[in-house]
A and B are shown apart, each in its own frame.
Chain A
Amino acid sequence: MKFQLGILFGLCVSLSSAFADTRIEGRVRERGTRNPLSGVNVYILPSKLKATTGVDGSFVFDQVPDGPFSFVVNLTDYEKLKREDSTTDKDYRELYLERTSYQVYETTILDKEKKRHNNQRTLKRSEFLTMPGSGGDPVKAVQNLPGVNRVSSFSSQIVIQGAGPQDTKYTINGHEVPLVFHFGGLTSVTSPEAIDRVDYLSAGYGVEFGRANGGLVGLLTRSPKTDRLHGLAFVDLINAGALMEGPIDSDSSFIVGARQSYIGAVLKKFMKGNDSFDLTVAPRYSDVIFGYERKLTPKDQFKWTSIYSSDTLEFVFNEPVRADPKLRGGFRNSTAFFRLIPELTHTHSNITTSRWSLGFGRDWFNVNTGSNYFKLTTYALTARGEVERKMSSEWVNFIGFDNRYNWAQAQLNIPNSFAGGGVFNPFSTGETRQADIKQKNHRIAGYWRAEVKPHETRWTYIPGMRLDYFSLSQEVLPGPRPAVRYELSDSVKLRSSGGLYYQPPLEQEIDATYGNPDIKSPRAWHFTAGGEKDWREGTSRGFVTSIDGFYKSLDRLIVPSARTTTRNSKIVSENYSNDGVGHVLGAQTEIKFEADPWSSSLIYTLSRSRRSEPGQVDHPSQYDQTHLLGVLGAYQTRNWRFSGRFRYSTGNPTTPITDSAFDADNDVYIPIRGPYYSDRLPAFYQLDLRVDRKFVFDKWILSFYLDVQNATNRKSKEQMVYSYNYKQKDYISGLPIFPTLGIKGEF
């Protein structure tokens, strides 16, 4: 009996040995990004074992028969994984699934609630980073949106629907910043990879923002990633930079990025041997962004953003500038600013949320040449707050404020310059003005807005009222801005909005000595109406079309004045007046087509922008472009993306010069202008191409891009240039073919 039991035991041991089970654990991640993939079914063949990954991508097989086996994972949007394996190897596995396409892996979902304004357009990071002709820049990418006029090859300023560059306001996280571009348009002032999205608000925008009669471009920084430490570094022809982000603890995370340019070194080489000037400090810029987010309590979310930007350029004129002898000696320009932006979002209840934020910073602007200088130092504090309350299932209220306080000191010794009709008089002919001005300037605004969507109707009513106070002009200005939406069907949405907008005068325009202290804020009435049709009917293929009409009536526009006036019983120069008026009428359409792997869009704007001022007949505005056409297309495979952009626009209006007069005091000629903006530059068109290539490794991604601006090397006529006495003229051409090669590594 003992013998029989012994045989049985031995058999059991040998059987258990023959069918021994191994525990295998592992994690499924996305290849390249290492993002854990949850809810994924992992199979082991031929045993037909199955496990499903958890939130962190982990899986466990408790009883895997010894010997060779295969992992099989099949997941939508990912390449099928089949990996031979064996239980004799280590018992922990990292499985990496490769996406079918990496060109869109950064897509951010923007829920509809965030799109507050009827005329808001938003570019997500995944869109602006790969947009041809924009070099991955979020603000430059806005030029591809409907209604955006083109300034010139040398400037990326955003001109919205026939307004002027000064009528566009730029914000970061809702707080106004003095500039968004390095050197007037080279690239925006912060790392594109730290930006979540860029909002473009055109005519008819809502009460939350103001002080801009054209519109607004807002950059919104993104939340840092919280799963692990991430980083990226990039190098291209003009700058290099790096960005790091990750969790600090379970409730907080950070992001930090920096860029440094070296385009100056290239320019310096280009300028070598020029007798007219020596480049002593080549153009250079740098910027830093830091972000921090913390969940303070279940109801409180805190976010901190710090931004610093700096630009410097310096050279020496070896002789007084030939066309303008007052420009002589050294030339130095430096611009810098920083902003500290804390934000707090508090959820009071499931019907009430409040958002509070500050923007504190300092701006430095310094330009000098020879004895002429302008030095401006500004301390700025912006404050925003808003309470959102759901009054009922049909009614949401928003009440908020949008304040800006400035303390500025300007030291200047520069000639006033006249640029009527967009033609500069030489600086030498201006009257030199010296001043040391300290000024406080407060702009305070409160607003109320509601969204009312009654049940059983297709209408959404959005009444709104904004009240602005400008301390310099001592004005209290009410701005009603109603809007309405109508859902004709699930795929057709109609919208209309309008209102009254004010833009405060610039400090110099209202200065008692150099401006006109009686000047008032320019005013604009906006009216827009349009709609959108989604032809895709729930699929991911097909067309989305939109069309909007806009009308703007402008008055009290500030124009230079050579008249005199009597103030305090003294005859003084009027300098500026509110005698300008104008209007803009137009329509814009966007037709998007998506059919993976193709995507394309066509943008067309037809508009007419007119101005009138004393001494001039009604004329086109400086950026009146009757036709604006943009066609964008992209084709993408798993790791390649080919894209292109074609742009056409009517040439900008120009002012003809009919004669000139020699200014014997200053040794220059001044132009005698014909009717303002009665000529035009030739039409502009340009083709930009871009290729993106990603190399995806298990733990990191290497990307290359080649962005070729003006691929056909077309010499577009951008500006007029004249002989010394204005008797002969020629054109300045835009940038020639301009390829940029970039490389980026990220983990």
Chain B
Amino acid sequence: MKNSLRLFTLAALTLLTSCSNDTFPVYVALGSLRVLGIIACSPEISPGGSTKMHAIISDITSGGTRTLTETWESCTDPGVSAGAEPTCVGASDRTVVYSGTVSTLSSPYYTARGTAVTVTAPSTILSGRTDQVKFNGYPFLVTYTLTASNGDQVRAFKRVLVTDASVKGTKNAAPQLSGIKKSGGTLSSTPYSSGNLNASFVGGSAETYLYKITDTVITSQTEDLTSTWFVSEGSFKYYRTVSDDTNAWTPPASQPSGRQVVTVVIARDSRGGEDATSLPTSLVGSPSVVQAACP
């Protein structure tokens, strides 16, 4: 009841404040130091299993004048959804996976994939857990910190779901974007004319999966695919679209100097699966390249 009242309160506050605060930075505006997504090749693994991961990062405004450092850590989820701070500091199974300088950001776009790392879940992470948790999964927390040489910092995290292969056969696969389309045609760069754009998915990206409501009751559900539209100049009508819905694009009044408009679409399947694509297409790796890099 308390949660539902919060849901009501949140929606009501959204209603009340939806028109306020134009002075805040826009969520989808690219420019400052940002982590746009963290992609795990396998968003669901077995105890002791591994997955390759990388972050999609952007730092356009700095123009390459500062050095960026990435730090990856992992640990058993301390209970983030129940209010614990998303950090591995203090965790008994804390592992520093990688720490080093970002070398992938380059002129003129300064938007790219970060360093790829591999994380491994503890083999005992599901020991003593309920059947429901073994089936639905327990989160293995991976934290990512992107620090600029001038002190700016962005903290991010992702949960890799660990499920027991003996009770759940099919694991979640990340959704796959096939590109960004306009009027049915796949784009290679952000257009300078207005129009409706949509994210295009490879067939089967929205999976149907089983979910245990209790230790004994299982339901079948289908993933919701959501796409977030980041852009360096110009604007999209919506921050996010669902499935392959279109998004109205308004180009900037003039083309940015020395480069094209950067558009990055991050798709999520609501279960930890992510994929990314961009215009120009080479920035975050074409979807097929990214997927091919996964084990």
Contact = CB atoms under 8 A, between A and B. Distances in A.
Are A and B a genuine interacting pair, yes or no? yes
Interface of A: 154, 184, 271, 274-277, 313, 315, 318-325, 327-328, 331, 333, 365, 367, 369, 371-372, 374, 376, 410, 412, 414-420, 424-425, 427, 429-431, 434-436, 506-508, 513, 560-564, 566, 569-573, 575, 659-667, 670, 672, 721, 723-725, 728, 730, 732
B30 to A, nearest CB: 13
B19 interface: yes
Contacts of A419: 6
A434 B213 contact: yes
Contacts of A664: 35, 37-38, 55, 144, 156-158, 274
28 contacts: A154-B16, A184-B9, A276-B18, A277-B18, A320-B226, A322-B27, A322-B239, A327-B14, A369-B11, A414-B3, A417-B3, A418-B81, A418-B82, A434-B213, A562-B83, A562-B84, A563-B79, A665-B274, A666-B268, A667-B240, A667-B266, A670-B86, A672-B85, A721-B20, A723-B24, A728-B23, A730-B24, A732-B16
Contact of A562 (B14, B18, B82, B266): B82
The bracket for how many chain B residues form the interface is: 35 or more
Interface residues of chain B: helix, strand, loop or mixed (majority): mixed
A720 B265 CA distance: 30
Interface of B: 1-4, 6-12, 14-21, 23-25, 27, 35, 37-38, 55, 78-87, 127-130, 143-144, 154-159, 211, 213-214, 219, 224, 226, 228, 237-242, 266, 268, 272, 274
Contacts of A323: 14
B119 to A, nearest CB: 13
Contacts of B239: 319-320, 322
Contacts of B27: 322, 724
B112 to A, nearest CB: 16
Given A418-B82, A425-B83, A570-B129, A507 B1 contact: yes
Contacts of B83: 418, 420, 425, 560, 562
A184 B13 CA distance: 12
Given A327-B14, A333-B11, A365-B4, A320 B21 contact: no
Contacts of A435: 213-214
A670 B127 CA distance: 29
A332 to B, nearest CB: 10
Contact of A728 (B12, B24, B81, B127): B24
Contact of B272 (A372, A513, A573, A665): A665
Contacts of A659: 155
A508 to B, nearest CB: 6
Given A320-B226, A427-B6, 4 more contacts: A277-B14, A376-B1, A424-B6, A662-B156
A371 B272 contact: no
Contacts, number: 188
Q: Closest 9 interchain pairs by CB?
A: A562-B79, A374-B4, A418-B83, A664-B38, A662-B156, A562-B84, A431-B81, A723-B24, A319-B238
Contacts of A325: 226, 228, 240
A388 B226 CA distance: 65
Contacts of B228: 325, 667
Contacts of A572: 130
Nearest to A274: B18
A430 B84 CA distance: 11
Nearest to B55: A664
Nearest to A370: B224
A320 B6 contact: no
Contacts of A665: 158-159, 268, 272, 274
A721 B21 contact: yes
Given A325-B240, A667-B228, A721-B20, A416 B213 contact: no
Contacts of A660: 155
Contacts of B79: 562-564, 573
Contact of B226 (A367, A418, A667): A667
Contacts of A570: 128-130
A680 B15 CA distance: 25
A427 B7 contact: yes
Nearest to B245: A319
A418 B85 CA distance: 11
Contacts of B15: 271, 277, 315
A199 to B, nearest CB: 26
Interface centre among B4, B18, B37, by most chain A C-beta atoms within 10 angstroms, is B4
Contacts of B219: 434
A563 B19 CA distance: 39
B11 A331 contact: yes
A333 B12 CA distance: 10
Contacts of B37: 664, 667
A655 to B, nearest CB: 12
A732 B23 CA distance: 13
Contacts of B85: 661, 672
Contacts of B268: 665-667
A414 B19 contact: no
A638 B83 CA distance: 60
B280 to A, nearest CB: 23
B267 to A, nearest CB: 10
B71 to A, nearest CB: 13
A417 B82 CA distance: 7
A600 to B, nearest CB: 35
B157 A730 contact: no
A429 B80 contact: yes
Given A376-B1, A416-B82, A318 B214 contact: no
